Structure 1
Amino acid sequence: MTRTTAIGTHPLDHLVLPTQSLEVARARLTALGFVVAPTGIHPFGTENCCVFLADGAYLEPLAIGDERAATQAIAKGNVFVTRDRIYRESNGDEGFSAMVLATGNVDADHARYLEAGISAGDMLSFSRAFTDTAGKSDIASFKLAFAAGAGATDAFLFACERVNAPDVDRAALQAHANGATGIVEIVAVSDAPGVQRRLISVAVDAPTANGHGGTFHLPNADLTVLDRASFTARFGLPAGAPTDLRFAAVVFSVRCADVTSRLLAANSIQHDIAGNDIVVQPAPGQGAAFIFREIP
Structure 2
Amino acid sequence: MPASIAPRKARPVDHLVLPTASLDGARERLGKLGFTVAPAGQHPFGTVNACIYLADGTFLEPLAVGERETCEAEAIRGNVFVARDQAYRFRNGEEGFSALVMGTGDARADHAAFVKAGISAGNILDFSRPFVAPDGKQDRAAFRLAFAADLRSPDAFFFTVQRVDVPKIDRSPLQNHENGALGIREIVLSEPNPTDFQYLMQEIVNERDVNAHSFGMDIRAANANIAVLTPAGLKAFLGAGAPQGERGLRLRGIVFAVHDPEKVEGLLSANGIAFERRGARIIVHPAKGQGATFAFEA
CA deviation vs aligned residue, 1:69-121 (integer Å, no higher than 9, x gap): 00000010000000111111111110000000000011110000000100000
Question: In the alignment, which residue of structure 1 is the partner of 2:229?
Answer: 226
* Separation in structure 1 between the aligned mates of residue 133 and residue 243 of structure 2, nearest angstrom: 36
Q: Assess, with a 3 A threshold, how the Cα gap between structure 1 residues 116 and 99 changes in structure 2: closer, same or farther.
A: same
CA deviation vs aligned residue, 1:108-146 (integer Å, no higher than 9, x gap): 100000001000000100001111111111111100000
1:210 counterpart = 2:213: no
Q: Residue 210 of structure 1 aligns to which amino acid in structure 2?
A: V
1:279–1:290 Cα contact (<8 Å) kept: yes
1:237 shift after superposition = 2.0
Q: How does 1:130-141 map to 2 (within 5 A)?
A: 130-141=131-142
Q: Secondary structure at the match of 1:212?
A: strand
RMSD: 1.1
Question: In the alignment, which residue of structure 1 is the partner of 2:283?
Answer: 279
Q: How does 1:77-116 map to 2 (within 5 A)?
A: 77-116=78-117
Question: In the alignment, which residue of structure 2 is the partner of 1:124?
Answer: 125
Q: Return the TM-score normalized by structure 2.
A: 0.94
Q: Residue 212 of structure 1 aligns to which amino acid in structure 2?
A: A
Question: In the alignment, which residue of structure 2 is the partner of 1:22?
Answer: 23
Q: Assess, with a 3 A threshold, how the Cα gap between structure 1 residues 240 and 26 changes in structure 2: closer, same or farther.
A: farther
* Separation in structure 2 between the aligned mates of residue 237 and residue 28 of structure 1, nearest angstrom: 19
* Separation in structure 2 between the aligned mates of residue 211 and residue 244 of structure 1, nearest angstrom: 20
1:204 shift after superposition = 1.5
The one of 234, 239, 263 equivalent to 1:236 is: 239
1:38–1:131 Cα contact (<8 Å) kept: yes
Q: Assess, with a 3 A threshold, how the Cα gap between structure 1 residues 135 and 240 changes in structure 2: closer, same or farther.
A: farther
Structure 1 unaligned regions, length at least 5: 1-5
Q: Secondary structure at the match of 1:248?
A: strand
Q: How does 1:1-296 map to 2 (within 5 A)?
A: 7-206=8-207, 208-213=208-213, 214-240=217-243, 242-294=246-298
Q: Secondary structure at the match of 2:200?
A: helix
* Separation in structure 1 between the aligned mates of residue 243 and residue 184 of structure 2, nearest angstrom: 23
1:190–1:225 Cα contact (<8 Å) kept: yes
Q: Assess, with a 3 A threshold, how the Cα gap between structure 1 residues 240 and 288 changes in structure 2: closer, same or farther.
A: farther
Percent of residue pairs identical: 47
1:197–1:211 Cα contact (<8 Å) kept: no
1:7 shift after superposition = 3.8
1:211 shift after superposition = 4.3
Q: Secondary structure at the match of 2:241?
A: coil
2:152–2:248 Cα contact (<8 Å) kept: no
* Separation in structure 2 between the aligned mates of residue 240 and residue 16 of structure 1, nearest angstrom: 22
1:186–1:223 Cα contact (<8 Å) kept: yes
The structure 1 segments of at least 4 consecutive aligned residues displaced by more than 6 Å after TM superposition are none
1:154–1:243 Cα contact (<8 Å) kept: no
Structure 2 unaligned regions, length at least 5: 1-6
Which has the higher mean CA deviation after the structures are superposed, 148-157 or 79-88?
148-157
1:90–1:153 Cα contact (<8 Å) kept: no
1:151 shift after superposition = 4.3
Q: How many residues align?
A: 288
1:240 shift after superposition = 4.0
2:238–2:293 Cα contact (<8 Å) kept: no
* Separation in structure 2 between the aligned mates of residue 267 and residue 182 of structure 1, nearest angstrom: 22
2:186–2:255 Cα contact (<8 Å) kept: yes
* Separation in structure 1 between the aligned mates of residue 131 and residue 120 of structure 2, nearest angstrom: 29
Q: Assess, with a 3 A threshold, how the Cα gap between structure 1 residues 240 and 37 changes in structure 2: closer, same or farther.
A: farther
* Separation in structure 2 between the aligned mates of residue 120 and residue 107 of structure 1, nearest angstrom: 14
